[in-house]
Structure 1
């Protein structure tokens, strides 16, 4: 089997099975495990898969730049945002992450809702200019890929806040890999924010469910729930998440 055909087969298996175990697939196809691992390394380098111990997981399309992500799964993000906005209760203090689904969430928020929003995203903060909500912005180095403040200054700023809830943006939600994103510093900032809230809910639009990125943010059991799109959910993956005890909000 030619290398191009092998890689296409690997991508098909990632879409249908949600993961590849290199040893098992090599035995099934009668190929060397080294060949499969080499193909997985090349797919990983091309951003088409995420290598893990023993194999690979599907790569998330949500790791693209901010402008590109704005046009990905927009209907799904809106449905998730509508449900997530219900978690911002009157009088509560809520940390809202950066990203396109977070931005969609504040756009779904009742402009007359009296609450406090804390964010490290200038785009989220700007979207709240006409709202009655009090807005607190955390500063730091601008990570342009996600349009959020990051780095040591942002993490330090996060240590001085506390909130009822954190609405967490991710690029991957996978039963085995957990909650992931594509940048190590961004993952650290998200963990810092989660540590300042009484409970964390994940914004899980369709393109993120069943996919994985390189850096772990939190394990599944560290969050209070995941908001998914009832109209476009990956039933098999969501079912596995529920079997693992994850609270799914639709």
Structure 2
């Protein structure tokens, strides 16, 4: 006797619905962290913000630790997509790709008040919560590897012999990390355009043969934007 298919929604619809609910809860988690802080964010604040029952949050994420970890992964995936797309869209030139990759750190889809609050909240907890540190290390390692590889391709252009590809990549990452912290703590001290100009001056000093190219691309004007449309985030 043939077995009848289980009643209910088609599998594709169930999968899509589950993905939508998970994203809804993760976005609500980000909102809760921005409003209440990471430690005060709970399954209750998240479910209330998402307009769902707390039972739904428990069903999809089991507990707060899992929800926070998945939120951090989600945010890193969004960030990774932005910088990878920028690098892929840049002209086939090492300096152009470096500018695109570093410029992505100041893209308003990533570098905005909401996201800066999220980054800094997780960074502040990473040392005390190994699961957060492990997630950060995994995604940061890929970013570092790509940026270092691009800097190696441009190493012959570095005018100061005390610098090499590895130190240049580390300095660029540290520079934009520091900007994210400063923009979060003192948001009126620097905006995205000022950050781009600062990165441009730094790179133009180390790569004098490409001074005009670097400054034109990082000047903050229309022609200096990263390839692709930039969607302003709140």
Instruction: State TM-score, norm by structure 1.
Output: 0.26
The higher relative CO (CA closer than 8 Å, separation ≥ 6) is in 2
